[in-house]
Structure formats: C-alpha cells, structure tokens
C-alpha cells in the first residue's frame, strides 16, 4: 500500500499493512511497525521507530535532526509508541548526546496540528497536545496530560500526570500533577476535579487531592511545611505519595 510517488529508502523497515501516501519520504533506518498509516507529503527521517497503528497526517516532519547548536551529526534516535495520532505539520526531533541520545513518545497520544516535540523530550501515554502546543528540549510530560493550544513548556520542565494546562500558558517551572495550571505567567488553580472524575478517580481520591492543594496553595505554608502536613494526614495513598514524590524530585521548582 505504497503510493508510486512515495520514496522509501532501501534501509527502511516496513511492517505489514502499512500505508504510505503520495509524495511522502521514508528515510534510512526508519522502522514503521504494522498498520502504520502515513498520509501524503510526510517526511520521516531515521533512526526512528514508529509503533503499530500510528497515523501520521500530511506535512508532518518526524525524526529530523535536533534543533540544538551542539548537535554534530551523531546517530541519535526518536522512538514513538503505538496508536498515536500525529496531525498536520507536527514536528518531532531526534535526541542529542547530551540528553541521552533519544527522544521518546508513548502510546495513544493525540498531537494536534503544528504541535512540536523537541530533542530529548520524553512524552508518556494518553496525552492530548492541542494546536501549536510546543515542548522545548529535555521536557518530560507524563501520562493523561492535556496541553491547551499554544502552550509553551521551557527546557528541563516536567508536567505531571493528569495535569491540565490552559491555552497560551507559559510553563517555566514543573507543572503539578492533577492540577489546573493556566496563564502567560502560569499559576496553579488547584485540582483538576472535573478531569479527574472523567478519568475514573473516586470521590474520596479527589477529596484527598483537593485537600493537598489547599495545603500547598492557600494554607499559608511553605512547600516543605505543606508536604510535611500532607504526608502526615494522607500519606500512604498512591495518588498522594505520587504528588509528594513529584514535588520533592523537582529541580526547577513547581508552579504554585
């Protein structure tokens, strides 16, 4: 199912039931696993692996060299998981030596038009990147995250699982999991309760998360004091232990 105008390098590996549309270019050391669909006018350069059932729409540019002035042509990689939807004009770059040689994307993500994943980023699964949402280099986005349109995430930041980032936000510190974060000078507005309910969190788990954010944001405590009280009141619950661990591992500080 390869259109006659597509160009597929002899060093590419193509799985079963793969479709490649007109005028697309599949480069050397690209692996397309079974049932990948590549529309017309797509460019994929290697080394790059794209998992089963992923769809890539027109004019996406996947696996190009990193936009890093320190890059010297090393053979770094981009690895993309299964069942992702990569819409028009999306760009995803390979890693760099300084970032561990690899950019990685999990499974079941939606990347809307013109969104960008830069070098050495690590994106989990079940995320939604709205139009033009962009990650600078070395960013980590965990699972079940929603990035609104035109969100920009600074280098080396982390975005925790189940976070909701409002459109046009500028993220320069780690964005807390379970939280609603918004603004050109981003602020945290507490628990993303509606989103958590939609994701199947119990009322009791949501109540614990809400109480944790009250202690973090409105109780007049510094972060260390808030974490101490959260641990004393609710420690041992998996969602609370994850929140505490996320904050304690932060190197850039968290958005409050």
pLDDT of residue 101: 98
Clarify whether 143 is annotated catalytic: no
Clarify whether 33 is annotated catalytic: no
Q: What is the pLDDT of residues 103-114, one digit of tens each?
A: 999 999 999 999
Q: Which of 99, 106, 124, 137 is catalytic?
A: 137
Q: Which of 33, 116, 119, 144 is catalytic?
A: 119
- Residue 226 — very low, low, confident or very high, per pLDDT cuts 50/70/90? very high
- Residue 27 — very low, low, confident or very high, per pLDDT cuts 50/70/90? very high
> What's 99's DSSP letter?
G
User: What value does the CA radius of gyration of the chain take, rounded to a whole number of Å?
Assistant: 20
Every domain of the chain with CATH number 1.20.1180.10 lies at 195-248
In order, the DSSP letters of 177-237 are TTEEEETTTTEEEEE-HHHHHHTT--HHHHHHHHHHHHHHHTSS--HHHHHHHHHHHHTTS
Q: Does domain 7-138 have CATH number 2.160.10.10?
A: yes
Q: What is the pLDDT of residues 132-183, one digit of tens each?
A: 999 999 999 999 999 999 999 999 999 999 999 999 999 999 999 999 999 9
Q: Is 50 helix (H, G, I), strand (E, B) or coil?
A: strand
Q: Which of 120, 143, 174, 182 is catalytic?
A: 120
Instruction: Determine phi and psi for 98, rounding to 5 degrees.
Output: -65, -15
Two tokens, residue 77: 């990689």
Every domain of the chain with CATH number 2.160.10.10 lies at 7-138
Two tokens, residue 138: 């070395």
Query: Can you say whether the dihedral through the CA atoms of 105, 168, 136, 132 is positive or negative?
Result: positive
- Residue 189 — very low, low, confident or very high, per pLDDT cuts 50/70/90? very high
pLDDT of residue 199: 96
In order, the DSSP letters of 117-172 are E-TT-EE-SS-EE-TT-EE-TT-EE-SS-EE-TT-EE-TT-EE-TT-EE-TT-EE-
Give the mean pLDDT of the chain. Answer: 98
Q: Does domain 195-248 have CATH number 3.60.10.10?
A: no
Clarify whether 137 is annotated catalytic: yes
Q: What is the pLDDT of residues 69-100, one digit of tens each?
A: 999 999 999 999 999 999 999 999 999 999 99
pLDDT of residue 40: 98
- Residue 161's CB: how many other CB atoms inside 10 A? 20
């Amino acid at each position: 199912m390869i259109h006659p105008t597509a160009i597929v390098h002899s060093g590419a590996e193509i799985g079963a039931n793969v479709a490649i549309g007109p005028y697309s270019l599949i480069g050397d050391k690209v692996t397309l696993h079974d049932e990948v669909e590549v529309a017309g006018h797509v460019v994929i350069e290697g080394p790059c692996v794209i998992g089963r059932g992923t769809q890539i729409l027109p004019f996406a540019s996947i696996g190009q060299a990193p936009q890093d002035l320190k890059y010297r042509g090393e053979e770094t990689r981009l690895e993309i998981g299964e069942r992702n939807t990569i819409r028009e004009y999306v760009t995803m770059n390979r890693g760099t030596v300084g970032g561990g040689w690899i950019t990685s994307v999990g499974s079941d993500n939606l990347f809307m038009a013109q969104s960008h994943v830069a070098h050495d980023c690590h994106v989990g699964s079940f995320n939604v990147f709205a139009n033009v949402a962009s990650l600078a280099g070395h960013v980590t986005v965990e699972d079940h995250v929603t990035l609104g349109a035109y969100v920009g995430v600074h280098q080396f930041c982390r975005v925790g699982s189940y976070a909701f980032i409002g459109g046009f936000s500028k993220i320069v510190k780690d964005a807390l999991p379970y939280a609603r974060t918004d603004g050109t000078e981003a602020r945290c507005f507490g628990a993303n309760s509606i989103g958590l309910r939609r994701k199947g969190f119990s009322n009791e788990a949501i109540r614990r998360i809400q109480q944790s954010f009250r202690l973090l944001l409105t109780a007049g405590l510094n972060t260390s004091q808030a974490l101490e009280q959260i641990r004393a009141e609710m420690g041992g619950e998996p969602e609370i232990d994850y929140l505490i661990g996320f904050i304690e591992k932060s190197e850039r500080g968290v958005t409050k």
